[in-house]
Structure 1
Amino acid sequence: MGFTGRSEAEVFADLVTLTAQPGYVYAIAQICCRDSMVSYEGEYTASDLSHLYDSNRLIRTEIVTLLGLMVRNPLDMSFPGDSHVQAYVSRSYELMDELHNAMSSSMFDLANQDAAKGVAPEKFWNGATLREPMFYGPESAFSFQYRDFFIDRHSCDDEWLRKHKGFDSQQAKQVAQKMCSMMDSRATRLLTAGGQIKASADVILQQFEFTPEDVSQRTGLTLSVVKAVFDALTFTGQNALFHELGDFNSVAATPLLPTGRGSVLLFSQYAIYEALYESPFFWMNGDADYKQRASDHRGAFVERFAHKRLAAVFGGARVYTNVNLFQGKDVAAEADVLVVFGDRMIIVQAKAKKLTLAARKGNEGQIAKDFAEAIQKAADQGKDCADVILSGKCKMFDDKGHEIEMPKSIKEIFRVCLVPDHYPALALQASEFLKYQTTDVIQAPLVMDVFLLDVLAEMLDSPLRFLSYVRLRVTAQDKLMVSHELTTLGYHLRQNLWLDSQFDLAYLDDSFASDLEVAMSARRDGLPGQLTPPGILTQMQGTLYERLIAQVERNPSPATLELGFDLLTLSGESCRRLHEGLSAITAMAKRDGQLHDFTLMLEDEKSGVTFQCDPDPKPSSTERLQAYCEARKYASRANNWFGVSISPDVQILCAMASNKPWVQSDGMDEVAKTMRKPAGVSATLKTLERSMRVGTPGRNDRCLCGSGKKFKKCCLPSASGSAPVAGKLA
């Protein structure tokens, strides 16, 4: 349905009437079954999620809107018959589509008016236009993240929860987890029995109904504890404040709907886990004596979480919390979390600020205020920290008072602005409103929530991989249009985020995150799917390319780090060529004991790398490689060049880098004239193939097996035996 010309208020009024119809709750059950259930057979794959990216389905915020309107009247559980239910369902889709079009049309009114006048709009995104992405944008978190983070976030409030609510965080999680498990089991039985499409609406509704007695029996918790959890999360009242999109909708905070017959309805696993994660903030905020303590706990959670996830990537010895930056005797700045890896740093500034209801409704001043407190302030503080670190007069101390060793040189400092909650349209707001300054060292800030940081640390669980993505994302800051950062990460995992300079802007569809969602679900929920998304993390497993990357991470010197970052920008084909080249020069060095090399130009054609396999390294070999790299860099008119010396078993012996911009030199012109054409991968492979067609070596020649011994003392057959001679390159 296109734009009908009706306003949001007119469509909303029709929705109020529709949701008040007798038995409308059965329509909700069918909608949830159609649009929220994921079924799979055998392996769980991205194709099983394809319907979740269908623009015709209702997303969770739309379903919660229908629920919020329905509960404005007493819940009518009478079954109106399947034909009436289907009519309710069809009308719901029509009206929700019309509502979306009504909201979207207002986004373009101003732009169209300016276009008619022949002028460009001063700015497209403002309070009115941001309402649409705030409401219809994707979720920040996976449901299992809300579930798994709940204990860490609220266990410190257990004493208050037991006293005022009658349960602790672990018990609340048990109840929610069991209800979700029961929902899964029921859905599986329903599908096995013939599918949710064929089932009657009243049968479908039963999948979402729960009693405290049943949950108590299945969890082993006392009935009083289960009832206490139910009471805390059960809707009461008439949702009187919910009059339009953006208003407070009580169903979001209390997703259990009482049926009036001793049971409750829960239509979404996501809803109960999100409510557990979010609602205690509001409960405790109403206690004047505990309010500040609860706020302190929230702030501590963000810092603790960031440290935990970053330490899993970089190692605990490289990650620090509450770092005081001193200039003289004064604390000039403080970093919530600091990572030091080689000559790179990450500064994390965390802010526990939510987007207010006024901002969600399009109040432009409130949007700006919320963003300033949650994001802009963190970015500015990160810049202050970076400036102090680079001042040359800084000493750093962690939260235990131990001094942190300052790197001899600092190549890059990355800033991360971190929030602990779902912040609607965060990626869009950051791209539009964030103001920042950069230098050659201080990079543009990255804005994220704890849920994205968790996924980044899970999938890019090595320092080089993590930092490489951060560098690529910062570089692509102004070139990408995405609704959520999980989409960007999904794209990167599939085919690398390195963007060709010829592109000015790229839009990424949300479906790029589907393989990532499968992998996270397999890891956190144990679903039978691939643990790693197909792409850059799987294509080169077991190759010499991966072995090289692993060594760079173990020895993050400035030269090797820079090389590692460039290697991680390579395409799949270039990675395979690199593996083949390394295989060739190491095989030749093992056979003849001589030094062999090959050269590879990197993706940007402004950088290159020469690999040298040296079976008998000497100081002169390093000097020779240094001289060759300088000459090859000049001859190639490159700005950056790397030289890497490796042993026959592919261990890095030394690495060097030259990153001075190319400048013409008469002396180097003469040197370049005498240079032979660099041995690329193809030429190196041909040389290896020729060498392997040689016949049996002499008794005193080096053995073909690569041991380094003479043939007569190694594989020379005895008079009664025989030995293989030449092989063929696989």
Structure 2
Amino acid sequence: MKKTSRSEAEVFVDLAALTRAPGYVHAIAQICYRDNLVTYANEMKASDLERLFSRQRLIRTEITTILGLLVRVPIEFSQPAASVLQGYVDRTDRLMEELHEAVGFPIWEAMIDVGKAGQRDVDIWRGEALREPIFYGGESAYSFQYRELVSEKYSADNPWLVEIKGFSVIQAQTIARTMCALLDEKVTQAFNAMKKSGVSPLSWLSAFEQSPDEIALRSGLPIEQVRAFLDAFTLRGNNTQFQSLGDFNALNATPLLAAGGDRVLLFQHYSIYESLYESPFYWMMADKAYQATAAQHRGAFTEAFAARRLASVFGIERVHSNVHLAQSKGTTIGEIDVLVAFGDRLIIVQAKSKRLTLEARRGNDGQLLKDFAAAIQDSYDQARLCAQAILAGDCRLLDAKGAELLPPLSPTEILIFNVVADHYPALAFQTRQFLKYQTSDKVRAPFVMDVFLLDTLTEMLNTPLRLLSYAKLRVENIERLSMSHEHTALGFHLKRNLWIESEVDVIQLEDDIAVDLDLAMTVRRDNVSGARTPEGILTRLADTLFEHLLFQIEKQPDPATMELGFLLLTLGEDTCQTIHHGLEFITRRTRTDGRTHDFTIAGDYGGITFHCNPVPSKDAMTKLGAYCECRKYAQRAQRWFGVSLDAKANLQFGVVLESNWQQSDEMDLTTADMRQPMPAAKFAEQVRGSPRVKIGRNDPCPCGSGTKFKKCCLGKPATAWAP
């Protein structure tokens, strides 16, 4: 970040003057074509989306800013000459870059001052400094999530919308979808015409124009409902109150612009979908007679949505809403919005519908903290209180009707999910800076998110172990990950597991890390051809016995096997492949000779013994436990797992041993003749019957950490035993 010669206000004035130039609206159309169009052939690939992360393009908030300045006066539609038009575009790019530098310089200056003074513990992320990540941070929601969630968010408000606005929520959703499809079609036609002729059009503006008649024809809806929708979302009058980035920009609420006659301009998919999701609530709150009902429906939506999405992963029988914690004599300690009970693990979900206010976006430090407290801190404190009460064991869990919901619980681990209903700018960043929380051996740090991330999490990590494991990894690194939004952390995890070297203090994750996740979600939700799952942890072990074992663990989530499942999900890909081949090896031998066979792997985490037994029995469990006890002692490990499977690799039972190692003369004698460990590489070579490729010191570590072998697993204990 370089020092700016001009203030933010000075740059803003110049930008406003530029948008008043004759025919400037054509420059906005050209910028939207340049910066928002994604072209692909046959199947969309991650590389097709990478241009959206270019620092040279204008992001949505920047485009909305110049649109907001454009409509402070009546739009002038005259067509400028090509050279003049290009001059507008170039000048816009330079001014927007200068504006970004001016907005971001306060934090850069504060960092320099702190460094010079040697004050390492000074908190510089306050007030003015946070305006940059709030305005320029990545979007926390996909446009199609706004589109899809709107029908659920306002389903209870449908009668009000029909009576007051003249259209239903489903009709609004259909019209918005139709307008975006028309926009895609028109831009594509203009693009193909340009490719065919080899000549750029004088203007791209016509591609962004639409009429009520064509929307009604394409959507199949009555023209009256279409006109009512366009009236609700089209800016009327001017936008003169928009005098700085911190002011209210009416384009966020009414993104359609009048283009003469009954035609309108729609420049961005995202804007109409976001406004469709957010604006109706403000309409309802302006109706004093309906305010309380609208607020109640909004809160109920967040809770219901969280419960529905978590039930899609854990099963409806394990997800409970509106759980009251009651002590004797009818005293209520607290209420949990959504409670998930999976084995001996709990997720406590507290949902809030608070937003970041306009004053906070302006950089008011006190308002920033006040908004965060209302949206996140209070929610966390409430969840923490409930977690402590459950662990204390002096309360009953009751449903909304007062019926006892679950037997007394003694959970091994409690995760806290704090969920907000709307986009909260720079939420991940603010959480890292502002949230005050406590952890214990059973209550983890909170996982703060919006409904959009919860939707994405439950879509991509749609099994209990996968979701719980990621949540545990994420909160373990709450202080070590710096990013603009949570999708980057999830994208990183899907590629290579959220593993961070212990000596690393902080990792900065750039937005483009999530490009494969963006593609997968687009394919799943927008019916685009392409990869539904990012290449990584969900694909490289697909259809292996390792994955089959995880599935079996999830089917019977007892504490011992669940702990094993979490461990398995932290292992490197090379070790996971060794487990797959080892399971193939011992199950094949058991099917052949009908006898028991086993193998063991070990590392810094302790060890796991995999035992294949034709028929489970108490005697087999006793023998496996005794064998694991010996292996644990011989390796001086704190933790050891034993897993028994049948000849088809179906889980029979598991044992877990966890205690500090202590020398024992008796155990020394018992383990004196135990076979020496076989290196994992040799074991893998033996069971697969093929040679291993030698790993050089400077080669990438096979565990998948992304660092060199010599700086990662070289010299670390990682061994395996065969019978």
Residue of structure 2 equivalent to 1:699 = none
Residue of structure 2 equivalent to 1:345 = 346
Residue of structure 1 equivalent to 2:407 = 406
Provide closer, same or farther for how the CA distance between residues 512 and 444 of structure 1 changes in structure 2, counting only shifts above 3 A.
same
Q: Following the alignment from structure 2 to structure 1, what is the Cα–Cα distance between the partners of residues 115 and 314?
A: 51
* CA displacement 1:123-160 (0-9 Å, x = unmatched): 11001100000000000100000000011111211111
Q: Secondary structure at the match of 2:80?
A: coil
Quick check: 2:482–2:509 contact (8 Å CA) kept in 1?
yes
Q: Following the alignment from structure 1 to structure 2, what is the Cα–Cα distance between the partners of residues 199 and 403?
A: 72
What residue identity is the alignment partner of 1:107?
I
Residue of structure 1 equivalent to 2:548 = 547
Q: Secondary structure at the match of 2:190?
A: helix
Quick check: 1:551–1:652 contact (8 Å CA) kept in 2?
yes
Quick check: 1:595–1:614 contact (8 Å CA) kept in 2?
yes
Q: Secondary structure at the match of 1:467?
A: helix
Residue of structure 2 equivalent to 1:238 = 238
Residue 540 (structure 1) shift? 1.0
Residue of structure 2 equivalent to 1:577 = 578
Provide closer, same or farther for how the CA distance between residues 534 and 689 of structure 1 changes in structure 2, counting only shifts above 3 A.
closer
Residue of structure 2 equivalent to 1:712 = none
Matches within 5 A, 1:153-164: 153-164=153-164
Residue 502 (structure 1) shift? 3.1
Q: Following the alignment from structure 2 to structure 1, what is the Cα–Cα distance between the partners of residues 126 and 374?
A: 18
Q: Secondary structure at the match of 1:207?
A: helix
What residue identity is the alignment partner of 1:286?
A
Q: Following the alignment from structure 2 to structure 1, what is the Cα–Cα distance between the partners of residues 315 and 233?
A: 39
Residue 120 (structure 1) shift? 3.8
Residue 568 (structure 1) shift? 0.8
Provide closer, same or farther for how the CA distance between residues 545 and 19 of structure 1 changes in structure 2, counting only shifts above 3 A.
same
Q: Following the alignment from structure 2 to structure 1, what is the Cα–Cα distance between the partners of residues 262 and 676?
A: 83
Residue 682 (structure 1) shift? 5.5
Residue 109 (structure 1) shift? 2.1
Quick check: 2:183–2:266 contact (8 Å CA) kept in 1?
no
Residue 488 (structure 1) shift? 0.4
Residue of structure 2 equivalent to 1:611 = 610
User: Structure 1: which 5+ residue stretches go unaligned?
Assistant: 691-730
Residue 202 (structure 1) shift? 4.6
Residue of structure 2 equivalent to 1:711 = none
Provide closer, same or farther for how the CA distance between residues 657 and 258 of structure 1 changes in structure 2, counting only shifts above 3 A.
same
Say whether residues 1:590 and 2:591 are aligned partners.
yes
Q: Following the alignment from structure 2 to structure 1, what is the Cα–Cα distance between the partners of residues 201 and 27?
A: 7
Say whether residues 1:288 and 2:292 are aligned partners.
no
Residue of structure 1 equivalent to 2:5 = 5
Q: Following the alignment from structure 1 to structure 2, what is the Cα–Cα distance between the partners of residues 130 and 304?
A: 32
Residue of structure 2 equivalent to 1:273 = 273
Matches within 5 A, 1:131-142: 131-142=131-142
Residue of structure 1 equivalent to 2:313 = 313
What residue identity is the alignment partner of 2:593?
D
Q: Secondary structure at the match of 2:326?
A: strand
Matches within 5 A, 1:22-421: 22-120=22-120, 122-195=122-195, 200=200, 202-328=202-328, 329-406=330-407, 409-421=410-422
Q: Secondary structure at the match of 1:410?
A: coil
Residue of structure 1 equivalent to 2:718 = none
Structure 1 residues 588-597 or 296-305, which shifts more? 588-597
What residue identity is the alignment partner of 1:381?
Q
Residue 586 (structure 1) shift? 1.1
Provide closer, same or farther for how the CA distance between residues 613 and 64 of structure 1 changes in structure 2, counting only shifts above 3 A.
same
Quick check: 1:631–1:671 contact (8 Å CA) kept in 2?
yes
Q: Following the alignment from structure 1 to structure 2, what is the Cα–Cα distance between the partners of residues 520 and 402?
A: 39
Provide closer, same or farther for how the CA distance between residues 407 and 491 of structure 1 changes in structure 2, counting only shifts above 3 A.
farther
Quick check: 2:27–2:88 contact (8 Å CA) kept in 1?
yes
Q: Following the alignment from structure 1 to structure 2, what is the Cα–Cα distance between the partners of residues 393 and 408?
A: 10
Q: Secondary structure at the match of 1:322?
A: strand
Structure 1 residues 577-586 or 162-171, which shifts more? 162-171
Q: Following the alignment from structure 1 to structure 2, what is the Cα–Cα distance between the partners of residues 645 and 581?
A: 13
Residue 654 (structure 1) shift? 1.2
Quick check: 2:578–2:684 contact (8 Å CA) kept in 1?
no
Q: Following the alignment from structure 1 to structure 2, what is the Cα–Cα distance between the partners of residues 688 and 340?
A: 39
Residue 3 (structure 1) shift? 3.8
Q: Following the alignment from structure 1 to structure 2, what is the Cα–Cα distance between the partners of residues 685 and 496?
A: 22
Q: Secondary structure at the match of 1:42?
A: coil
Residue of structure 1 equivalent to 2:644 = 645
Residue 652 (structure 1) shift? 1.3
Q: Following the alignment from structure 1 to structure 2, what is the Cα–Cα distance between the partners of residues 682 and 16?
A: 66
Provide closer, same or farther for how the CA distance between residues 408 and 281 of structure 1 changes in structure 2, counting only shifts above 3 A.
closer
Q: Following the alignment from structure 2 to structure 1, what is the Cα–Cα distance between the partners of residues 214 and 208?
A: 13
Q: Following the alignment from structure 2 to structure 1, what is the Cα–Cα distance between the partners of residues 195 and 142?
A: 26
Residue of structure 2 equivalent to 1:634 = 633
Provide closer, same or farther for how the CA distance between residues 663 and 504 of structure 1 changes in structure 2, counting only shifts above 3 A.
farther
Quick check: 2:156–2:297 contact (8 Å CA) kept in 1?
yes
Residue 493 (structure 1) shift? 0.6
Residue 177 (structure 1) shift? 0.8
Residue 634 (structure 1) shift? 1.9
Residue 670 (structure 1) shift? 3.5
Residue of structure 1 equivalent to 2:710 = none
Q: Following the alignment from structure 1 to structure 2, what is the Cα–Cα distance between the partners of residues 371 and 618?
A: 55
Q: TM-score when scaled to structure 2?
A: 0.92
* CA displacement 1:487-513 (0-9 Å, x = unmatched): 000111111112232322222221111
* CA displacement 1:617-638 (0-9 Å, x = unmatched): 4433221211111121122222
Q: Following the alignment from structure 2 to structure 1, what is the Cα–Cα distance between the partners of residues 554 and 688?
A: 33
Residue 406 (structure 1) shift? 3.3
Provide closer, same or farther for how the CA distance between residues 171 and 64 of structure 1 changes in structure 2, counting only shifts above 3 A.
same
Count matched residues.
Answer: 688
Q: Following the alignment from structure 1 to structure 2, what is the Cα–Cα distance between the partners of residues 495 and 391?
A: 38
Provide closer, same or farther for how the CA distance between residues 630 and 50 of structure 1 changes in structure 2, counting only shifts above 3 A.
same
Quick check: 2:4–2:105 contact (8 Å CA) kept in 1?
no
Residue of structure 1 equivalent to 2:563 = 562
Q: Following the alignment from structure 1 to structure 2, what is the Cα–Cα distance between the partners of residues 50 and 309?
A: 29
* CA displacement 1:653-699 (0-9 Å, x = unmatched): 11011122333444333433332224665665677689xxxxxxxxx
Residue 401 (structure 1) shift? 3.7
In our comparison, the structure showing a higher alpha carbon Rg is 1
Provide closer, same or farther for how the CA distance between residues 514 and 407 of structure 1 changes in structure 2, counting only shifts above 3 A.
farther
* CA displacement 1:259-315 (0-9 Å, x = unmatched): 223211110011000001000111111111101110001000000100110000000
Provide closer, same or farther for how the CA distance between residues 363 and 651 of structure 1 changes in structure 2, counting only shifts above 3 A.
same
Residue of structure 2 equivalent to 1:506 = 507
Residue 200 (structure 1) shift? 4.5
